[in-house]
Amino acid sequence: GSANSEPQLFLAWCNPEFVVVSGGRDSLTPATRPLFARPGCRLLHTAEVGAVTVMLDANDCSVETFRPENVHSD
Q: What is the mean pLDDT of residues 16-34?
A: 85
What are the tens digits of pLDDT across the range 38-66?
Answer: 888 888 999 889 999 999 999 998 999 99
Give 32's contacts (C-beta < 8 A, 6+ positions apart): 3
Position 5 pLDDT exceeds 50? yes
Please indicate, yes or no, whether the overall pTM of this predicted structure exceeds 0.75.
no
Cβ neighbour number for residue 55 with a 10 Å cutoff: 10
Determine the Cα–Cα distance for residues 72 and 64; give it in Å rounded to an integer.
7
Question: Smallest Cα–Cα separation from 24: which of 61, 57, 50, 63?
Answer: 50
